[in-house]
Amino acid sequence: MRISEAMRYRLFQSCISNVNRRLTDLEKKISTGKNINVPSDDPIIFARTVEYDSQLSLGTQFNDNLQRLKTLVGIYDSSLTNVESNLKQLYEMANNYDTANAALRQSYVDGLENMIEQLATVANTRLGNMYVFGGQQADGAPFRLNNDYSVSYNVSADAEDATDIFVDSGQLGKFGLSGREVFYGTSKVAFGDVSNTYQGDIYSNTESFAYVIGAANRAIMVNGAAVSLTTGVYTGTALAKEIGSRLGPDYSVAFDSATRKFVVTNNGTASVTFNWSNAGATAASTLGFDAVDSVVGAGETEMSDIDSGRKSFLVKIIAGGAATGTVADRATYSYSIDGGSTWSAAMAVSTGGADATGDITIDGTNDTLYRNGTAVTLTNGTYTGEALAAEIQARLGAGYAVSYNGETRKFSTTNNTGGVVTFNWSNAGATAAGVLGFDNIDSVLSNGDADTGDYDAGMFIDGAGTVNSTNNRIKLAFGTADNPLVASDAFQVKDLSVFELLKNFKDAFDSGNTTWIAKNITHIDSARSLNSKNNAVVAFEGTQADKLIENNKTRANQIEDEKTNLLNADTATLGTEFGVLLNTYQTLLSAFSKIQSISILNYLN
């Protein structure tokens, strides 16, 4: 095949153009110091650098979130220090009140008013336009100071939690503390109103609040199918375990005691739907879920929408009575579980069996306990604590000693049989457990060991002898040796509130009620414990923020190094290559000029 002059010309021209492009490319790499300047230089590496830029941008956003969290941590730390300082001052006032003169007592009242005003201001602290204790309703003041020095909390139940923020890829972190966490406890307290005529002792098993699962509230709907929980009485942790066992191995369930919320994690490979809107999902309300379906992806979690243990009990005396005598003569009361909107019928007050005349009622609903798997049935009737202890011992037979302590209101059974004995309180048929003050946990007793009640004996706050979804295992009993109960006296079993505590002490100081002050000082300790716990949470959040910021900085440096290694050019090598290529280019131009001359001569000839 003959190569024509025209073809030779075009080939030379193409070769020179290619070398020229390579020279231009090398010149740009040398001037910018980068191997990759446009996608066409290397599409794969260019795409990798875009991904690196995206990671760096996300890291910057995470750090911005973390820096904002650190700012909040500083505000929270200052606020909690303020709370502790005021509670410590209140504690000193309360302990010194009894010996203080009139002028000093008045200064305590004035001091408490200032204290409440100051803490209400702290509770409404803002960072920019955000109220830092507003939870997910941070655009409005969460607390309102009223004219009587009470403080109202204005955040809805489903917006109380602090907002979650992304602190790392796929990692959510809590954006500080909510007002609910700081100024309200999750442990219940029992107290009588400051204005009560009755200043005697009240007894409540406030730490024994339980979740009661029955036929009417046992169903969870998952992907349209019912999952039924086992009926029974549960702590939050025990109920979480029960939910997990019913849902199966693809789920893990936990109970967050700080918020009293249940957390369900989907460990399967596919999304699942919790059909809370389904009328058959009868457990939704008990577990704190609203009537909105939740689609939970693989690895994702579903958390209760509201605090599931918020329930409070209000008690008011309907009719008063004598300081001594039968329960009916002493007083009757009514209770409310909806904040005072509706009230129960009147019933006799309880002393938990400490009364000289009986007030523990044993009937067909609560007359059975189990020993070594065998039912022991108590004789129905109304008992004092001591009389019921004698009845239990008679039914158990030889080898047992049963006693009742009127101060602690607890029963105790000692095993003197010479062998090991098990009291099966977890048996569903052990209906006497609640009225005798035992949790649903079996007791295994060696010879000589004693089984003592977990909480006060006697009837529950609703007059029942067994645990149910109305009383949630809460009792309220009254002392037997103090001034009488009178109509309009009021009592409460509810979550600890720092502001309500301050208001109550102000009223007690104002009225000179030394008895109320002495009996309720312990609640100041509870409030200070709550504040200490929150301080620990804030310190942890601050430490975690610092750690994550440092991790992000280290990761950003690594990404920058990898990006540099991908992009940066070896200018010395490129310079050498440029020189060689330039010489080649000049040689080609010289040769090309000769080809052009020959071509013209050929044309002229």
User: In degrees rounded to 5, what are phi and psi of residue 381?
Assistant: 160, -175
Helices (H) then strands (E): counts for the chain: 12, 31
More confident residue, 192 or 576: 192
- Among the candidates 488, 505, 521, a domain finishes at 488
DSSP bridge partners of 423: 371, 443
- The reported pLDDT for the residue numbered 368 is 98
Place of tokens 């005598």: 325
DSSP code of 510? H
- The reported pLDDT for the residue numbered 357 is 79
Structure tokens at 56: 């760096």
d(CA 487, CA 315) in angstroms, rounded, equals 11
Q: Are 549 and 599 in a shared domain?
A: no
Q: What kind and span of H or E run contains 186?
A: strand 184-192
Coil vs helix vs strand at 555: helix
pLDDT greater than 70 at residue 284: yes
Q: What is the 3-state secondary structure (H, E, C) of 238-274?
A: HHHHHHHHHHCCCEEEEEECCCCEEEEEECCCCCEEE
Q: Are 76 and 107 in a shared domain?
A: yes
Structure tokens at 584: 């080649």
The predicted model scores a pTM of 0.80
Q: Are 426 and 386 in a shared domain?
A: yes
Q: Are 27 and 59 in a shared domain?
A: no
Q: Are 19 and 129 in a shared domain?
A: no
- The reported pLDDT for the residue numbered 569 is 52
Residue 580: pLDDT band with limits 50, 70, 90: low
In what order do the strands lie in the sheet containing 490-497?
184-192, 490-497, 313-319, 332-336, 347-348
Encoded amino acid at 108, one letter: Y
Least confident range from 13-27, 38-52, 290-304, 412-426: namely 38-52
Q: Are 215 and 163 in a shared domain?
A: no
CB 415 within 8 A of CB 400: yes
Q: Are 375 and 429 in a shared domain?
A: yes
- The reported pLDDT for the residue numbered 604 is 46
Please count the other Cβ atoms lying within 10 Å of the Cβ belonging to residue 267.
12
Residues of 10-32 as b/e, b for ≥16 C-beta within 10 angstroms? eebeeebeebeeebebbeebbee
Segment 174-223, tens digit of pLDDT: 556 888 989 999 999 999 999 998 888 899 999 999 999 999 999 999 99
Q: Render 429-456 in DSSP notation, one character per residue.
A: T-TTHHHHT--SS-EEE-TT-EEE-SS-
| Residue 596 included in any domain | yes
Angle at Cα 78 formed by Cα 77 and Cα 80, nearest 5°?
A: 65
- Among the candidates 270, 303, 336, a domain finishes at 303
Segment 543-567, tens digit of pLDDT: 776 777 677 777 666 666 565 555 5
pLDDT greater than 70 at residue 2: no
More confident residue, 572 or 558: 558
| Residue 561 included in any domain | no
Share the mean pLDDT of the chain.
Answer: 85
Structural domain count, the chain: 4
DSSP code of 535? H
Mean pLDDT of 37-57: 57
Q: Are 332 and 447 in a shared domain?
A: yes
- Among the candidates 464, 488, 512, a domain finishes at 488
| Residue 203 included in any domain | no
Segment 297-352, tens digit of pLDDT: 999 999 999 999 999 999 999 988 775 555 556 789 999 999 999 999 999 899 99
More confident residue, 264 or 355: 264
Q: Are 421 and 327 in a shared domain?
A: yes
| Residue 147 included in any domain | yes
Residue 603: pLDDT band with limits 50, 70, 90: very low
- The reported pLDDT for the residue numbered 572 is 59
Mean pLDDT of 439-458: 96
For residue 5, CA distances in Å to 15, 50, 569, 601, 603 come to 15, 48, 41, 12, 10
Segment 225-279, tens digit of pLDDT: 999 999 999 999 999 999 999 999 999 999 999 889 999 999 999 999 999 999 9
More confident residue, 43 or 122: 122
d(CA 477, CA 349) in angstroms, rounded, equals 7
Residue 60: pLDDT band with limits 50, 70, 90: low
Q: Are 358 and 421 in a shared domain?
A: yes
Least confident range from 4-13, 87-96, 408-417, 499-508: namely 4-13
- The reported pLDDT for the residue numbered 541 is 75
The domain in which residue 548 lies consists of: 50-185+497-556
Place of tokens 């309360």: 94
Structure tokens at 426: 């977890």
Mean pLDDT of 416-434: 96
Coil vs helix vs strand at 336: strand
| Residue 200 included in any domain | no
- The reported pLDDT for the residue numbered 55 is 57
Choose from 39-43, 198-202, 450-454 the range with maximum mean pLDDT. 450-454
pLDDT greater than 70 at residue 155: yes
Least confident range from 128-137, 342-351, 453-462: namely 128-137
Please count the other Cβ atoms lying within 10 Å of the Cβ belonging to residue 545.
22
User: In degrees rounded to 5, what are phi and psi of residue 20?
Assistant: -65, -40
| Residue 562 included in any domain | no
Please count the other Cβ atoms lying within 10 Å of the Cβ belonging to residue 599.
14
d(CA 252, CA 368) in angstroms, rounded, equals 35
Q: Are 57 and 163 in a shared domain?
A: yes
CB 330 within 8 A of CB 349: yes
CB 158 within 8 A of CB 150: no
- The reported pLDDT for the residue numbered 323 is 59
Structure tokens at 388: 């019921």
| Residue 373 included in any domain | yes
- The reported pLDDT for the residue numbered 53 is 56
Q: Are 112 and 174 in a shared domain?
A: yes
pLDDT greater than 90 at residue 431: yes
Choose from 138-142, 498-502, 592-596 the range with maximum mean pLDDT. 498-502
| Residue 14 included in any domain | yes
